[in-house]
Amino acid sequence: MSQPLRVIPAADLVPADPTPGMQRTIAFEVPGLWAGRLETEPGSTSGWHHHDVNESSLYVVSGVVRLEFEGREGYVEAGPGDFVHVPAHTVHRESNPGTDPAVVVIARAGDGIPTVNVDEPPAPHA
C-alpha cells in the first residue's frame, strides 16, 4: 500500500546532528534517507566531521559554501543552484567565505550515523 505525501513546513524543522560553527536542522528521516537544511553565517567555519556510510547531496539555495577535505589539502566552493556530492566517510568541514548567510538543502542516502564529529586533521606539510 502506498503512503501519503507529506509537507514538512519550515517552522517544523528541528535542530539535528550538532557540529560546531553551523546550524543543521532535520526535515525528516526514514530508513535509508535523511533530509534537512544547513545554515552557516558569514565567516563561520564548522568543525571537522564525516557522515559515516551515508552518501550526501548538498544543494546550495543561497550564499557561498566552501568544503575543505583531504586534511585541508583539497576544497570546493559552491554557490546558488550548485550541487555538491560528499562521499561516505569523507572527513570535511564547511565554511562560509561570503558576506551573506549560506543556506543548503541536504539529502543523505544510507543508514549510518548522520554526523560523526572528529578531531582536526594535521596541517598539510609545507
Contact 30, 111 (CB under 8 A): no
**Architecture of the domain made up of 14-108:** Sandwich (2.60)
Domain boundary assignment for the chain: 14-108
| pLDDT of 114 | 83
Query: Mind listing the pLDDT tens digit for each residue in 30-61?
Result: 999 999 999 999 999 998 999 999 999 999 99
| pLDDT of 124 | 67
Residues paired with 109 in a beta bridge: 33, 55
Q: Which residues of the chain fall below pLDDT 70?
A: 72, 124-126
User: Other C-beta atoms within 10 Å of 121: how many?
Assistant: 16
- CA separation, residue 92 to residues 12, 73, 86, 118, 119 (Å): 28, 11, 9, 9, 11
Separation between Cα atoms, residue 68 and residue 77, nearest integer Å: 9
| Cα–Cα nearest to 41, from 61, 22, 60, 25 | 22
